[in-house]
Amino acid sequence: MKYPIYQVDAFTDRAFAGNPAGVMPLKTWLPDQTLQSIAAEMNLAETAFFVPKGEGYHLRWFTPTVEVKLCGHATLASAFVFNRLIDPTIKAMRFDTLSGPLHVRADGARFELDFPVLAFEANADTSIPARIGKAIGQLPVDVVVSPVYDAFLARLESVAAVRAAVPDYPALEQLGRDLIITADGKAEGVDFVSRFFAPLHGIPEDPVTGSSHCVLAPYWQGQLGKDSFHARQVSRRGGDLWLTLAGDRLKIAGHAVCVLSGEIEVN
pLDDT of residue 267: 85
The pTM of the full predicted model, rounded to 2 decimals, is: 0.92
- Cα Rg, the chain, nearest whole Å: 18
Alpha helices in the chain (DSSP H): 32-42, 72-80, 128-136, 159-164, 169-174, 213-224
pLDDT the model gives residue 68: 94
pLDDT at 209: 95
As annotated, the active-site residues are: 46
User: Could you give the CA distance from residue 138 to residue 130 in angstroms, rounded to a whole number?
Assistant: 9
Q: Among candidates 83, 113, 82, 116, which has minimal Cα distance to 98?
A: 116
As a whole number of angstroms, the distance between CA 53 and CA 213 comes to 28
Helix, strand, coil abundance in the chain, percent, nearest 5 = 25, 45, 35
pLDDT of residue 202: 87
The domains found in the chain, sorted by start residue, are 2-116+253-265 (3.10.310.10), 121-246 (3.10.310.10)
CB 122 within 8 A of CB 146: no
CB-CB contact of 207 with 18 (8 Å): yes
Rounded Cα distance, 143 and 259, in Å:
37
Q: Please list the rounded mean pLDDT of every run of 10 residues in the chain (267 residues).
A: 97 97 98 98 96 95 95 96 94 96 95 96 97 98 97 98 98 98 98 97 93 97 98 97 97 98 95
Q: How far apart are the first and last CA of the chain?
A: 6
